[in-house]
Amino acid sequence: MGVSAVFLVGFMASGKSSVGQELARRLGWDFVDLDGRIEAREGQSVPEIFRERGEAGFRLAETNALRDLVTESLPGNCVVALGGGAFVQERNRELLLGWPTVFLEAPASELWQRSLTDGIERPLRGDPQQFARLYAERLPFYREASVTVVTSGKDLASLCAEIESRLQSRGNSEAGGPSEIPSPHFRTGESQ
């Protein structure tokens, strides 16, 4: 049996972890947080890695964790939340080729407000101007995800329902008809 997975992509505070956990719960799949994987592999928190090795050191650890996840340790069916910069790196997008990716889109101003209240330390958050600039730089890469879902004003349940249906129709159109695939969430080219 093949492995099924979907990867959530988006800027800081776009809800990748909360949407990912809820989507995984609805599907009966595992939830994997890539930043959590990095911290477990490195024995350090994300801010500690940034402090000691800089962004370049963090990106290296991030790619290593992602490569390990997709090539060796993907646990059965799972929803994976990537960190905000992961999908921006070309080498990471290459590792994810063929996997369904979902961009959770919301305006930078809304994400900034959310980032102020969620209590997470984010080394790259900066001030509102830096935040908006980084968002604009990254947007073209996020748009390369297989599916884009606008999150503003939607609750978790409706967002997850929308993601499921978008993945379903995408899977069906790629496979040429619903009868051909039992689940849309599999890597293109792999059997279930």
Site for ligand S3P in 26-55 (CB under 6 A): 35, 46
Count the Cβ atoms, other than its own, within 10 Å of residue 160.
22
> DSSP assignment of 154-179, as one string?
--HHHHHHHHHHHHHHHHHHHHTSGG
Applying CB under 6 A, the span of 81-89, 144-152, 156-164, 183-191 interacting with ligand S3P comes to: 81-89
Task: Return all residues near 127 (Cβ < 8 A) that are at least 6 apart.
Answer: none
Segment interacting with ligand S3P, rule: CB under 6 A, options 24-32, 96-104, 116-124, 154-162: 116-124
Segment contacting ligand S3P (CB under 6 A): 18-26, 70-78, 118-126, 169-177? 118-126
Separation of alpha carbons 132 and 17, rounded Å: 21
Residue number, 29 or 58, with CB nearest to ligand S3P: 58
106 binding ligand S3P? (CB under 6 A): no
Instruction: Give whichever of 99 and 135 is closer to ligand S3P, judged by the CB atom.
Output: 135
Do 61 and 46 form a contact (C-beta atoms < 8 A)?
Answer: no
Residues 119-158 that bind ligand S3P (CB under 6 A): 122-124
What count of other Cβ atoms lies within 10 Å of the Cβ of residue 83? 27
Q: Which residue is nearest to ligand S3P (CB)?
A: 83
Contact call for residues 169 and 99 (beta carbons, < 8 A): no
CB of residue 12 to ligand S3P, shortest distance in Å:
4
Residue 83 contacts ligand S3P per CB under 6 A: yes
CA distances from 123 to 25, 45, 106 (A): 29, 11, 20
Find the shortest distance in angstroms from Cβ 167 to ligand S3P: 21
Q: Which residues in this chain contact ligand S3P in the complex, by CB under 6 A?
A: 12, 16, 35, 46, 83-85, 122-124
